[in-house]
Amino acid sequence: MTEPHAEDEERRDFLQLAAGAIGGVGAVTFAWPLVDSMSPSAEVLALSSTELDVSSIKPGQAILVKWRKRPYFVRRRTKPEIEAAEKVDIASLREPEADKDRVTKSEWLVVSASCTHFGCIPKGAKVGDDRGEFGGFFCPCHGSHYDTSGRIRKGPAPRNLPVPPHNFVTDKILKIG
């Protein structure tokens, strides 16, 4: 007579195991949409970086690009512009930063196109633009002058033009973000 009790216990263990498994599957089925909704959408992922072909930019030229709905300058610097940026006494700067710390390749400067004073877009990207006393960028709103490395040199702007995360995928393709 002890055999029927053993059979009942085995059946009870099986039913408990099956109920636990079904409950686990139900919990995962319920939780998955909640967890998945926390992932960034494809729209957001598309804005996380941008790639552009810089092969058509000539030395001395700059273009204005948008990344994350904000403007950025991409400038192909000339040898004199690079030399001028490298010769600056860092101790004389309001926000000391060496040129080599602001560029990935010395020929290319990638900086925010929003003045750090009040967010105006400085001049210096178009041919014939006033590039200020230091040959970089000039903000006409309140008179801030930036050098060829995007560092503040004169005027009310408190900081250098920020450098976004960027790198070169190939010699011709620049990835921002």
Catalytic residues: 142
Cα–Cα distance list, 161 to 10, 92, 152 (Å): 73, 17, 7
* Phi and psi torsions of 44, nearest 5°: -70, -40
* Phi and psi torsions of 62, nearest 5°: -140, 150
Q: For residues 55 and 72, is the Cβ–Cβ distance under 8 A?
A: no
Structure tokens at 167: 């790198």
Cα–Cα distance list, 95 to 35, 90, 104 (Å): 43, 8, 19
Query: Rounded CA gap, 80 and 26, in Å?
Result: 68
Handedness of CA 108, 110, 114, 116 (dihedral sign): negative
